[in-house]
Structure 1
Amino acid sequence: MGNKSLSLSLIFMAGLIILTVVVSSYFGALTINWGEVLNFDSLDSYIFWQVRLPRILAALLVGGAFAISGAVMQGLFRNPLVEPGIIGVSSGAAFFVALTIVLGGKLFPALIEYLNDYTLPVAACIGGWAVTAFLYYFSKHNQGVSVSAMLLVGIAINAFIGALLGLLTFIASDEELRSLTFWSLGSLGGFDYTKLTILFVLQLMIVPLFLFKIRAMNAMLLGEREAKHLGVNVERLKKQQIWGVAILTGSAVAFSGGIGFVGLVIPHLVRMFFGSDHRYVLPLSFMSGGLLLLFADSLSRTLASPAEVPIGIFTAFIGAPFLGYLVYRQSGMR
């Protein structure tokens, strides 16, 4: 596949995203009257600019962050079943959010009141990055960071944090349990333009760093020793990738909650259709992840309107059977 094929693929994905954005912005609890969108005193204008457009942009950014992070992790570990949560970001974020929901109001009421709507995002960011730092430290040895050790330690940490989450769930009140459950299933309903700006600026800093390292990431597919012979600074690349994924995933989880499956399914599907070349995998994963989450969010806010179904339910319903079917077809199991 050459540059022309890549360009056509990107143009096709961009057109599909634009079409989905238009359809998604039209449907909801209230059908938008396009003639009133620019009349800023109308209800249609308020719903479009202050409610639906932030959710649409959030879906594109959050889905893109999860998917490109999954693509980077799968390339780093050379394993298509790895997803961003393996470095502890998701579990760390979930643990600190649970701590904040269950114990935060009792231990730090003034801080909770000061942070207000940003309490859970701040807690999620701190938790995700703290657990990643812990995991990174215990995966280092004299020669650098061992990805196999990181995988094993990550599994152990995720299991341990799962036990702690179970304990917090046990002692939580009914209201706290409801908040924790709803956060763990994910939602894009809390986004405003301030949160979108924070997410966009972080992605503007991290995503280009991934794209600039495409050749080095392709070399890593051959193995670490072969990549070193090709002139790749392997340890620096691993450090950049791990912390880049931690920042992207941590910020996305902080604002959207525990939306699963996007970082696992999308990169795997892109590789099945376009191969392992990161020139295709990274940009197409980012765009496809945004498209999947936008579709899932559209279902989330329309199927049970005016109520909202947690978006994580739809990503699992959409992603799991689709991935299983494609793997079944690809392996020729008939």
Structure 2
Amino acid sequence: MQRYPKLYFGILILLLVGTIIMAIDFGAVPIHIHEMYSALLHAIKNDAPLNIHEAVFLEIRLPRVLLCAITGGILAASGVMMQGLFRNPIVEPGLIGTSAGAAFGASFIFVLSDILPFWLQRFSGILLVPVFAFVGSVLATVLVYTLAKSVNRVSVTNLLLIGIAVNAIALSGTGFLSFISRDPQARSITFWNLGSFAGASWLQILITAIVTLPVMILLLRYANQLNALMLGDKEAGYLGVHTERLKWQILLLNTAMVAIATAFVGVIAFVGLIVPHMMRLLIGGNNRTLLPAAFLSGAILLTVADIAARLLIAPGEIPIGIITSLVGAPVFIILLKQTQLLQKGGSYD
């Protein structure tokens, strides 16, 4: 695979297209390919859907699947950047407070939205929860960056340690809000923290895509510099990389991308952890090819997980975070064992 990256990308694209078609087809209302084609033609002509199948395809199934694929790609690409920045293959995007801050922001709205000014609630409308989740995500991450900064430089070790502390604070706040909430509010907090694409809409896709596309283009521009950074700060500096500026640029871009995705769908674990690790084993550590490969693989993985979430207890639905954690944790342990990252030297044997 490392010798034939173009072939590998072709396979990933075909797998993604096939997975998306399967995800649209499977569900309480089966939608076949000819119905998808007919619905798209009517949408292009601005005609009304002919039947319930076309309506479900255009208004429910297609936006859900597309948002799922984009989110999976975002989380996986973010994992690549964070693992490259920390020079550690077991780092995940939520490590620096992004996910925990989003959870606190969303929980605040679920429990205390009544104390907000009426004009703010009316202005935000249906985006009130995503807006506060996004704000909480950004604030938590900025707090980590600010506290980790020392003498005009950002220490990766400080980011890691302070990120753990800020995560703990945000999770404590979410726990307190759950404690004082009523049963329906507590249930909303629980389900949001487990992730779901049930409320996907075209507006969410538009906003997410507007943020993701330019961020991914910029990240690809920094891929070679990140390759140099993985050698060490001093070595990257000798190669002409402005390491401190690069760290800030990657962190800001990563935060924007993850925050907007998390704000709409909730917290989804393990995608940003296991996908980059698996892709690194398959195609190597060159971030210029690893980043787009991880994006495509993350989209495939999360779309498959969403199919399982919808079908395993149909007509009910399992929160997708349960699926990703249930599958991701054992896979990650296996990967750690195979790559000998679990060293015997730290054991009590």
Q: Same fold (TM over 0.5)?
A: yes
| Structure 1 counterpart of 2:176, from 167, 170, 179 | 167
Tell me if structure 1 keeps the 8 A contact 2:76–2:295.
yes
Deviations 1:264-299 (A, max 9, x none): 111111112222111232111111111111001111
Q: Distance in 1 between matches of 2:52 and 2:299?
A: 27
Q: Could you tell which deviates more after superposition, 61-70 or 157-166?
A: 157-166
Cα offset for 1:145?
Answer: 1.2
Q: Distance in 2 between matches of 1:262 and 1:184?
A: 15
Q: TM-score, normalized by length of structure 2?
A: 0.91
Partner of 2:25: 26
For 1:15-164, list aligned pairs within 5 A.
15-37=14-36, 38=38, 40-164=49-173
Partner of 1:284: 293
Residue 4 of structure 2: SS of its match in structure 1?
helix
Partner of 2:345: none
| Structure 2 counterpart of 1:270, from 260, 267, 279 | 279
Deviations 1:106-125 (A, max 9, x none): 34455334423211110011
Q: Distance in 1 between matches of 2:164 and 2:339?
A: 28
Partner of 2:6: 7
Q: Could you tell which deviates more after superposition, 120-129 or 26-35?
A: 26-35
| Structure 2 counterpart of 1:194, from 175, 200, 203 | 203
Residue 91 of structure 2: SS of its match in structure 1?
coil
Tell me if structure 2 keeps the 8 A contact 1:269–1:323.
no
Whichever residue aligns with residue 250 of structure 1, its letter is A
Q: Is 1:326 the equivalent of 2:335?
A: yes
Distance 1:21 1:332, change over 3 A: same
Tell me if structure 1 keeps the 8 A contact 2:5–2:283.
no
Cα offset for 1:332?
Answer: 10
Deviations 1:29-81 (A, max 9, x none): 11124444415221111111111111111111101111101110000000111
Q: Could you tell which deviates more after superposition, 198-207 or 105-114?
A: 105-114
Q: Distance in 2 between matches of 1:184 and 1:109?
A: 26
Q: Distance in 1 between matches of 2:341 and 2:232?
A: 28
Q: Is 1:204 the equivalent of 2:219?
A: no
Deviations 1:2-35 (A, max 9, x none): 7x61111111100111111121111101112444
Q: Is 1:302 the equivalent of 2:301?
A: no
Whichever residue aligns with residue 279 of structure 1, its letter is R
Q: Distance in 1 between matches of 2:140 and 2:339?
A: 36
Q: Distance in 1 between matches of 2:88 and 2:35?
A: 50
Q: Could you tell which deviates more after superposition, 168-177 or 132-141?
A: 132-141
Q: Could you tell which deviates more after superposition, 8-17 or 37-46?
A: 37-46
Q: Note the residue ranges of structure 2 that are not aligned, 5 or more in a row.
A: 40-48, 343-349
Q: Distance in 2 between matches of 1:88 and 1:158?
A: 5
Residue 108 of structure 2: SS of its match in structure 1?
helix
| Structure 1 counterpart of 2:325, from 310, 316, 323 | 316
Q: Distance in 2 between matches of 1:279 and 1:210?
A: 9
Tell me if structure 2 keeps the 8 A contact 1:86–1:155.
yes
Cα offset for 1:313?
Answer: 0.6
Cα offset for 1:165?
Answer: 1.6
Whichever residue aligns with residue 78 of structure 1, its letter is R
Q: Note the residue ranges of structure 1 that are not aligned, 5 or more in a row.
A: none
Identity fraction in percent:
39
Distance 1:199 1:332, change over 3 A: closer
Tell me if structure 1 keeps the 8 A contact 2:102–2:137.
yes
Partner of 1:255: 264
Tell me if structure 2 keeps the 8 A contact 1:128–1:250.
yes
Tell me if structure 1 keeps the 8 A contact 2:83–2:89.
yes
| Structure 1 counterpart of 2:251, from 238, 242, 249 | 242
